[in-house]
Amino acid sequence: MTRGIAGGVIALMLAAPFNVAARETAANAHVEAAFTPGDDVAGMITQRIAKARKSVQMQAYLLTDRTIATALIAARRRGLEVEVIGDAAQFEAGGLPWLAALHRAGARTYLNTSNAASHNKIVILDAAMPGATVITGSYNFTQAAQSKNAENVVIISRSPAVTGRFVENFETQRSLSRPWP
């Protein structure tokens, strides 16, 4: 395993076997970790959404960050498939105010009502493509997560097995959700 640090972000290039349910050797996987406050996690997420070429799938407990929501809307306007699953209770409490704008932009929007909390915080970019990326961690998609909270994000790219596991879970969560509105 080699490590490099650039701008406070740790990038890991995995050269040894990486255990996931699919048992993939992750020699070509690229993993980054970032933390708030300090690292520009919102910027990292929006930059990757801006570079997506086919699809963006997001599951969000909270989505109040304007820059991330705007990046999702821009992706949809570029013709990408955009899907967002939100937590139904948080939506009712006002924690997903961007869902309506995303729906108007043509994103497929869902509310998860089947779990006590739909607490996954994931973004899957270009799932069916070789350079697919998964963004996950404790980071809620909010300004507070960026500027006030101690949060983390892990960005995994070029790992079909890891991406596949996240896509499977996303599809399961979508099946447990209802289309919004």
Residue 90 is assigned to a structural domain of this protein = yes
Instruction: Indicate which residue of 39, 65, 87, 126 is catalytic.
Output: 126
Active-site residue 119, yes or no? yes
Task: Using CB atoms within 10 Å of the CB of residue 124, give its burial: 0 to 12 exposed, 13 to 18 middle, 19+ buried.
Answer: buried
Instruction: Indicate which residue of 39, 65, 119, 148 is catalytic.
Output: 119
Q: Say how many domains are in the chain.
A: 1
Residue 75 is assigned to a structural domain of this protein = yes
Work out the pLDDT band at 28, boundaries 50, 70, 90: confident
Residue 146 is assigned to a structural domain of this protein = yes
Residue 18 is assigned to a structural domain of this protein = no
Q: What is the pTM (predicted TM-score) of this model?
A: 0.87
Model pLDDT, residue 159:
93
Cβ-contact 85, 116 below 8 angstroms: no
Residue 20 is assigned to a structural domain of this protein = no
Model pLDDT, residue 26:
58
Domain of 34, CATH number, reads: 3.30.870.10
Residue 19 is assigned to a structural domain of this protein = no
Q: Could you list the residue range(s) of the whole structural domain that residue 62 is in?
A: 2-13+28-179
pLDDT for 155 beyond 50:
yes
Work out the pLDDT band at 4, boundaries 50, 70, 90: very low
- Pairing mode, strands 108-112 and 151-157: unpaired
